[in-house]
Chains A and B, each alone.
Chain A
Amino acid sequence: MQCARCGEPAVVHLTGPDRRLCAAHFIEDVETRVATALECGRMITPGDRIAVGLSGGKDSTALLLLLHRLVPRTDATLVAVTVDEGIAGYREETLRAAEVLTAELGVEHRIVTFPDLFGGDLDRLLVGREAQGCTVCGVLRRRALVEAARRTGATKLATGHNLDDEAQSVLMNVLRGDLPHLLHDTATGLPGQFVPRIKPLAVLSEKEITIYLLLRAYYRDLPECPYAGTALRSEVRTMLATMEHRHPGTMGRLMQFREEIRGSASPTEPAGELRLCRICGELASGEVCQVCRLLGREER
C-alpha cells in the first residue's frame, strides 16, 4: 500500500477521487483542500481580522494550525477566542491545551467565561435539566463566541465545524422538517449585527482532521464532554457514520444537496424573519432570543 505520488507507505486511503497518500502528501492534500475552500468560498477578504473559535479540542486545534499556515498568504490577521463554559473535569484540560497552542504559535488569545457573560457556569445553569446539556450549551456558546469576537474587533469568526458536523446538521434539519434552518447561511453576516462566520474545515471529515493532528504531532486524547450524547445529533452521528462506511461519499452528497437546495430556493423566500430581542437587543427569531429564554430572563 503505497502513496500514489511518491511510493512511500500510505497512511490513508481517500475516496472522491480515490487515492492513497503518505504522511507528507496527506498533510499537503489537507492544506490544499482548505486553502481552496478559503479561496472558492471567499472566506477571507483583505484586511480581515479573523477570530478563531478555539476550544482546545481537536477540530479547533486543527483549524488554528491550518489558518496559521494559510492566513499569512493573505493580509488578514488571527486572534484566538476561547469560551470557558465551566464544565468541571472537562474544560480545564482543553483550556490548558488552547493556552499552550496559542503561546507556541504566537497567536493572541482571549478567553471569555459563562459566569462573566451569563452569571453562572454551565454546570450551575444546567442543574435540573442536565439532559438538555448540548442544546443549552450550544445556544450559550454561540452567543459567547460572538461576544468574544466582538471584543477582539474581529471581522470574521472562524469555527472548526467539520464535514461530519455539517452533514449531521443537514440531516437533522431534514428530520425536523426545518427548511428555514437548512437554508440559513451564517456566512453572509448582517452589517452591524453579527460577525460573518466561516467554516474552513467543512471540507474535511472528522477522521481526516484527527489523522492530520496525529501526523503533525498535535493529537491529544482529551476527555469526553460529560454532557455529550444527549441530543438528536448523537443518534444522527451514528446513523451517518454507518451510511458513510457502507456508501462512501454520503456526507459529501448531503452537503451538495444543501448547496443545491440553497441555490434553488427563491431569493425572496424568508429564511426566518429576524428582529432584535426586547431584553438583550441581540438578533432573535421571536420577541425574546433563545439565550434570554434559556436564562429565564423573560420571567423577571
Chain B
Amino acid sequence: MHIILPDKSVRTVSCTSAPIEEILLSLGINPTTVIVVKNGRVVPEDVTADDGDEIRILRVSHGG
C-alpha cells in the first residue's frame, strides 16, 4: 500500500491487511494527532487497510 505522510513523502509498505491504527503506531504517529484518508475517503482509524490501498495522513495540529 502507498502511504502519503503529512510531509507529503510517500512510503510503500507491503502488507496484506492491517488496522490503520496499527500502521500509524508502527510509523511512530499518534492517531489522535492525524486524520486518515483511505482511497480518497476520510475513515476512522479502526478500519483495515489492504495491499493496493492509498493511505493519506493529514496532521491535525499546526501549532500556531
Contact = CB atoms under 8 A, between A and B. Distances in A.
Interface size class of A (residues with CB under 8 A): 20 to 34
Given A1-B43, A13-B45, A207-B35, A222 B30 contact: no
Contacts of A10: 43-44
B10 interface: no
Contact of A13 (B33, B41, B44, B62): B44
Contact of A58 (B41, B42, B47, B62): B62
* Most A C-beta atoms less than 10 A away, residue of B31, B58, B63, B64: B64
Nearest to A210: B60
Contact of B60 (A11, A206, A227): A206
B42 A11 contact: yes
Given A11-B41, A11-B42, A211-B42, A237 B63 contact: yes
Interface string A255-283: 00000000000000000000000000000
Interface size class of B (residues with CB under 8 A): 10 to 19
A208 to B, nearest CB: 9
B62 A244 contact: no
Given A228-B63, A242-B30, A13 B35 contact: no
Contacts of A58: 62
Contacts of B64: 57, 90, 134, 224-225, 227-228
List 8 tightest A-B contacts by C-beta distance, closest first: A225-B64, A228-B63, A228-B64, A13-B44, A11-B42, A245-B32, A207-B60, A210-B60
21 contacts: A11-B43, A11-B44, A13-B44, A13-B45, A13-B46, A20-B44, A57-B64, A164-B61, A206-B60, A210-B60, A214-B37, A214-B42, A219-B58, A224-B63, A225-B63, A225-B64, A228-B64, A234-B63, A237-B63, A241-B30, A241-B33
